[in-house]
Amino acid sequence: MVLRTLASPLPVAWVTADSADGQDGRFRRLLEQTGTGYVLAVPTSQFTVGCPRIDGLFARAPDEAWEKASCGDGAKGPRLYHWAAVRLPAVAEFDYQGEFPCRMRWALARRSIRRPDEIAYYLAYAPLETTAHQLVRIAGARWAIEECFQAAKNECGLDQYEVRRYVGWYRHITLAMLAHAFLAATAQQARAKGAEPVRPTGPLRSPWRRFGDSWQLVGPSPHTCADTAADATL
């Protein structure tokens, strides 16, 4: 799938993924061979250029290397973490064009503000002019993408396919994502006109009520039951 996507006429500037893909060295080499930038999550035991283990690398980072930054907006506002980024040694085979460098390697760490022992790690491959703040933003883009895919699954049946060939799969997800984009644009237009957003109903109120030292089930009143029965007979 990755080979077909990179070979397609669609522009692909960056790739981001979780540690299941990020730890795969062949996947990273594939992106580097095509000149595609990436910010990939990796496990704490990840080995890389000039870095025996990525968690050990950031364990030696000075306090001033950590900077509070947002990697994007979440449901409750900006997602703030402490971030640290360090440039890694270059690899001549992939990072140079002739004698001149064209790409740069980074290692990033994202540390929880409230729980400093919770740290996530990333490897990045980027053009020379890329800044650490841009890499943070790209790392945070994965949450928005995952939310988009989850919404498309719930609303447009993105995952409701049974195909074994790439063409059939590609047609299905293209149609599903097009439908999702239409729904998102329609909802945004409605909000722009002042319409109230549709909110899901809350959980059903429990019929359990405490009376003295025991619990009882509270049902509808006799009048309500009589009115409902009368409506049903009409």
The domain locations on the chain are 2-130
Other CB atoms within a 10 A radius of the CB of residue 224 amount to 10
Other CB atoms within a 10 A radius of the CB of residue 71 amount to 21
Nearest C-alpha neighbor of 162 from the set 154, 151, 172, 152 = 172
Q: Are strands 77-88 and 103-111 parallel, antiparallel or unpaired?
A: antiparallel
The phi-psi region of residue 77 (left if phi > 0; otherwise alpha if psi is between -120 and 50; otherwise beta) is: left
Query: Is the full-model pTM beyond 0.75?
Result: no
**Contact yes or no for 42/122 (Cβ under 8 A):** yes
Please compute the mean of the pLDDT values over residues 55-77 and round it to a whole number.
85
The pLDDT assigned to 184 comes to 84
The pLDDT assigned to 82 comes to 93
Residue 35: is its pLDDT beyond 80? yes
Share of the chain above pLDDT 90, in %: 19
Based on DSSP, count helices (H) and strands (E) in the chain, helices before strands: 8, 10
Nearest C-alpha neighbor of 136 from the set 67, 44, 88 = 67
Considering 19-28, 88-97, 215-224, the range whose residues carry the highest mean pLDDT is 19-28
C-alpha span between 223 and 199 (Å, rounded): 31
How does pLDDT run across 120-171, given as a tens digit for each residue?
999 999 998 999 999 999 998 877 777 777 888 888 888 888 878 888 888 8
How does pLDDT run across 40-64, given as a tens digit for each residue?
999 999 887 777 789 988 888 888 8
* H/E run at residue 5: helix 2-7
